[in-house]
A and B are shown apart, each in its own frame.
Chain A
Amino acid sequence: MSASQPVPAAARLFLSGNEAVARAVWEAGTRVAAAYPGTPSTEILEVLAKYPDLYTEWSINEKVSLEVALGASMVGARAFCAMKHVGLNVASDALMTMTVTGTEGGLVIAVADDVGMSSSQNEQDSRYWGRFAHVPVLEPADSQEAYAMTRAAFELSERFRTPVILRLTTRICHVKGVVVAGEREAVEPGGFTKDPRRWVMVPGNAKPRLPLMFEREAAVRAEAQTSPLNFVVDGSDRRIGFVTSGPAFMHVREAFPDAPVFKLGLSCPPPLESLREFAATVDSLLVVEETEPLLETELKAAGIACYGKDVLPRTGELAPDALHLGVARLRGEAVPEPEHVVPQQVFPRPPTMCVACPHLGVYYTLSQMRNVMIAGDIGCYTLGAGHPWNALDSCISMGASMGTALGMDKGRGKVDENKKVVAVIGDSTFMHMGMQGLLDITWNRGNVTVLLLDNRAVGMTGGQDNPGSGRDLHGEETTRVDFAKLCEALGVKKERIRVLDPYQLPVLFKALREETKIEEPSVIITDRPCVLIDHYVPTKPYLVKEDRCTGCGNCVDVGCPAIHVTRRDKEVKASGKEVDLSFVRIDTSACTGCGLCVQPCAPEAIIHAEPVQTLQPVQFVRK
């Protein structure tokens, strides 16, 4: 926090899980914390960056952030990194070796699983990485536990010299609850001890460390048997005993307040003997876990009979309503009728691009092109797959547009011979994982046109800075990458790299047509800031001159949310063809004057609003 914004004193604070983790990381005396933004984990580093006395950074991807944390741990400092579930896939290469070297200073990895998939390309269970890497996993159930377990994770990490995964989910990260916090503790780094047999993982050094890793795992399992992080909440209704972890614990307690519950905080490796004893005290055992039947499988393998995904949903959150249904199924009872009105079918309201978003022009242009295959990517760019553009043919994972496009180019048969291949990627995404793909395209002579949409921010997660914005996590000026030079260095010919203004549709269209015609790698960089960041400067808004609007609907195809259809009609052309007409209005209070909609408007019905149109006050009538 800045001098004017002191750290809140130890008190009863109202914190999200992310804020609680940040608070605890700071209190633990952590020296280095790194992350790449990703929903639902983003806020941890944003909040942590405001605390004094520790180094925080946005890294260019999760693997690098974990490497930064490991380096700090090597010199004996407490270190932290945060990521979303798919980020751990990226970081896994580093993780799988760190588990062999072990750590020095406490090292905690917060991984936020998007259970229920509010904004991710898949749903995956990061607890698997704990099993895979033989590292302990802690699973908090609310903000207070997120705080307490983060503190506990550092201690566990140092006691066993292992990285610790703190598994969060959306309902931890983005749920606010009351947290009793403490103060920062002073932890001095122990210093680096040269020990190549530990830190240089060539086979000869790594082999003798593997048995140590399994010894450690056995020790952590013994710890799990007695850890206060694992406990039983007793209950009088012993028909079903629940085994659960994370926010599912709260849902179980809410739905079945009288049932006994075995609550796992340190869930990997699981305390199988304690669980066996618990199972003997209840009629049947139900494992409630989000999202994979991981514990269930472990219990069954240990010969402990239990129910789980046979009665509970295989995907999504295990909120109380899902639990009621599952338990009714297990008991063979009729499913209770809900006491509420039937949910009404209302139009979908998917997220849209923002008013004046610089990507609008790009996707409008792509939607006007024929015979083109478009490999898309993660971020706001994904919204181009939606209406009205429908301008994406794929979206797999961060940076995957490059390789996918190259594969489309190399793999196409006769039927696709005449199609152009385009890859669309954002600035931050390009630096995160796209650069390597572009290098592969140039090296292997791919016939791909890359659209690098530089809006100088990590847009989707809220406009965080990156090396393309020239500012760091703290807003301080730093090196700003030159994308044209970077692409040139990656092997794209200088004359095949263009930097354009995405608000100039004819220029964009012409460049795209020319570059897709030329059979070699090319890059079109569009350069306009995200409208949500502070550096965006709005100009004079536009309005529609209604007597000039012919209802052609071209402006609607741009997809700007400030354009509203006021009236629809049909017109029969001389040829007998029926044409749909859409007469429009611009919400002048929202319009920033980017001028994108003006360009396809043939009758010149969109003009500057002068003076600026204001919303008409509506007379309020008291009932």
Chain B
Amino acid sequence: MSKVTNILVCGVGGQGVMTATEILAEAAISLGFDVKKTEVAGMSQRGGVVTSHLRFGPEVLSPQILAGDADLLIGFESAEALRWGHMLRPGGVALVNSGRIVPPVVNIGLFDYPDEPVAQMRALGLRVHDFDATALAVQLGNIRLGNTVMLGASSDWLPFPAEVLRDAVLARFGSRKPQLVDANREAFAAGRQAVAGETLAA
């Protein structure tokens, strides 16, 4: 592979966007790629917008992905995926958690949450695969498995085998809490299965 792969991960502060991107980066590093990763952090842990840029290839210069240049958009939250939809390149793929996180500015009535963000993305001509990753994680026993579910879902759109990403996920959580390995293995598989039929059709 000669070109640089661009992956944009977006969501809300506290969802694990940065950790997920870090794991994707570790997978790419394990294959010997040059890798750069950047994000807008700072105040984002307080419920703000989080975007994380990951670029890997033979040589990566700028850490930033340009609008219209992302191969893959991983949206941890519906409205955030819509917000960053313009980052996708023509023919790029968006994987979107259809779960919603409604911010205080919407709660107090200053703004509206968009109706059907995923449908709006499709209406713009974007290729979107969506499923409720939050609900799936809760069903698996822990809402915090959501980012592993999303990584599993993304694993068949990467320029390397899904197993490489799965191993990076298990290495990350296994080194901290060995009891999390099985739960994450299951979450990864569930996420992968959730969009499995769509990969072949795509």
Q: What is the interface size of chain A, counting residues whose CB is below 8 A from a CB of the partner?
A: 65
Stretch of A100-108, A346-354, A534-542, A604-612 lying at the B interface = A346-354
Q: A171-B63, A178-B35, A387-B110 are in contact. Are A341 and B125 (CB under 8 A)?
A: yes
CB A495 to nearest CB in B, in angstroms, measures 37
Which A residue sits closest to B21, measured CB to CB?
A176
Interface of A is mostly: loop
A363 to B: closest C-beta gap in Å: 12
Given contacts A118-B40, A178-B35, A338-B67, contact A349 B49 (CB under 8 A): yes
Task: Please tell me if B102 contacts chain A, counting CB pairs below 8 Å.
Answer: yes
Q: Which of B8-61 contact A (CB under 8 A)?
A: 12-13, 22, 25-26, 29, 34-49, 60-61
Residues in A with CB closer than 8 Å to B82 are 344, 346
27 pairs of residues in contact across A and B, judged by CB atoms under 8 Å: A40-B41, A142-B63, A250-B62, A254-B62, A255-B62, A319-B64, A320-B62, A338-B68, A339-B89, A340-B67, A340-B86, A344-B82, A346-B83, A347-B112, A347-B114, A349-B49, A349-B79, A350-B105, A352-B104, A561-B47, A564-B107, A565-B108, A582-B107, A582-B109, A618-B138, A620-B135, A620-B194
Which chain A residue has the least Cβ–Cβ distance from B131?
A623
Which residues does chain A contribute within 8 Å of B35, judged by CB atoms? 14, 176-178
Residue ID in chain A nearest B90 by CB atoms: A339
- Dominant secondary structure at the B interface: mixed
Flag if B42 contacts A118 (CB, 8 Å): yes
Residues of chain A with a CB closer than 8 A to B107's CB: 556, 563-565, 582
Contact B29 A178 (CB under 8 A): yes
Given A251-B62, A561-B47, A623-B131, A349-B136 contact (CB < 8 Å): no
Contact of B43 with A340 in the complex, beta carbons under 8 Å: no
Question: Measured between alpha carbons, how far is A341 from B108 in the docked complex, in Å?
Answer: 30
Do the beta carbons of B44 and A351 come within 8 Å of each other? yes
User: Does A342 touch B at the CB level, under 8 Å?
Assistant: yes
Q: What residues on B are CB-neighbors of A320 within 8 Å?
A: 62, 64, 66
| Count of A-B residue pairs with CB < 8 Å | 197
Indicate if the CB atoms of B48 and A142 lie closer than 8 Å: no
Chain B neighbourhood of A341, CB < 8 A: 85-86, 88, 124-126
Chain B residues closer than 8 Å to A347, beta-carbon distance: 79, 103, 105-106, 110-114
Residue in B closest to A12 when the chains form the complex, CB atoms: B29
- Give me the interface of B with A, judged by CB distance under 8 Å: 12-13, 22, 25-26, 29, 34-49, 60-64, 66-69, 79-80, 82-83, 85-90, 102-114, 117, 120, 124-126, 131-132, 135-136, 138-139, 143, 190, 193-195, 197-198
Within 8 A of B (CB), among A174-203: 174-178
Contacts of B109 in A (CB 8 A): 565, 568, 580, 582
Contact with B along A383-395 (1 / 0, CB 8 A): 1000110000000
| CB-based nearest B residue for A341 | B124
* Residues of A in contact with B (beta carbons under 8 Å apart): 12, 14, 39-40, 114, 118-119, 142, 170-171, 174-178, 247, 250-251, 253-255, 317, 319-321, 338-344, 346-354, 380, 383, 387-388, 460, 462, 532, 556, 559, 561, 563-565, 568, 580, 582, 589, 615, 617-620, 622-623
Bound CA span A617–B60, Å = 42
Highest count of chain A CB atoms <10 Å: which of B41, B45, B111 = B41
- Residues of B close to A462: CB separation below 8 A: 45
Are A174 and B39 in contact, CB atoms less than 8 angstroms apart? yes
Write the chain B residue with the least CB distance to A382.
Answer: B43
Interface pair B37/A321, CB less than 8 Å apart: no
Assess whether A620 is in contact with B64, with CB atoms less than 8 Å apart: no
B13, B66, B87: the one contacting A351 at CB < 8 Å is: B13
Chain A residues within 8 Å of B85, by CB: 341, 343-344
Bound state CA distance, A512 and B110, in angstroms? 29
Q: Specify which chain A residues have a CB less than 8 angstroms from the CB of B111 in the assembled complex.
A: 347-348
The listed residue (B26, B108, B138) touching A615 by CB distance below 8 A is: B138
Closest A residue to B117 by beta carbon equals A346
B79 and A346 form a contact (CB under 8 A): yes
Cα A619 to Cα B114 with chains together (Å): 24
Report how far A171 CA is from B131 CA in the complex, Å: 33
**Which residues of chain A are near B26, meaning CB under 8 Å?**
14
Nearest-neighbor residue (CB-CB) of A143 within chain B: B36
Most buried by A among B64, B82, B104, B109: B104
Residues of chain B within 8 A (CB-CB) of A559 are 104
CA A317 – CA B53 in complex, angstroms?
15
B201: min CB distance to chain A, Å = 10
